[in-house]
Amino acid sequence: MSLAKILVIDDESTILQNIKFLLEIDGNEVLTASSSTEGLRIFTENCNSIDVVITDMKMPKLSGMDILREIKKITPHMAVIILTGHGDLDNAILAMKEGAFEYLRKPVTAQDLSIAINNAINRKKLLMENERMTQEGHHHHHH
């Protein structure tokens, strides 16, 4: 069974392919985008089925921050994992304040990736569970 459907956005194809490979070994379904605009388009078309988004911080046109903000507008609960290079820590901290789920330093290790994805999936399950409980709670009030 597929663990998660993950969208990876990175303009460096080697990193994109590497992350896709690592995620697929773990049994995830992976969508890839090699530009921020393409990434947002794919996200918008698949936002109901995507579990986690991994995006690079520094890209032409839209940055990882821009992508994070746009995704949060569409799906406030979405887990967004930001990839940061060296000396990009300020941005990573800012991204966390803006609601990013996690940031990972490049080069990303298979272990870091697995842990981050697992944490994101577990959080999504909890959120969905809470929503379900809340909705069930509301139903009881009507009777």
What tens digit of pLDDT does each residue of 1-26 get? 458 999 999 999 999 999 999 999 99
Residues of the domain holding 27: 5-142
Buried b (16+ CB within 10 A) or exposed e, 14-34: ebbebbbebbeebebebbbbe
What tens digit of pLDDT does each residue of 89-101 get? 889 999 999 999 9
Q: How confident is the model at residue 86 (pLDDT cuts 50, 70, 90)?
A: confident
- Rounded (10°) CA dihedral 24, 121, 81, 14: 0
Q: What's the chain's average pLDDT?
A: 93
pLDDT reported for residue 143: 60
Percent of the chain with pLDDT over 70: 95
Q: What DSSP string runs through 12-47?
A: -HHHHHHHHHHHHHTT-EEEEESSHHHHHHHHHHHT
The arithmetic mean of pLDDT across residues 76-91, rounded, is 91
What SS3 class is residue 2? coil
Q: What DSSP string runs through 71-87?
A: HHHH-TT-EEEEEE-TT
What tens digit of pLDDT does each residue of 110-131 get? 999 999 999 999 999 999 999 9
Cα-only R_g, the chain: 16
| Sign, CA torsion 93/25/36/41 | negative
Is the pLDDT at 104 greater than 60? The verdict is yes
What SS3 class is residue 143? coil
Number of domains within the chain: 1
d(C-alpha 129, C-alpha 107), whole Å: 34
Domain of 127, CATH number, reads 3.40.50.2300
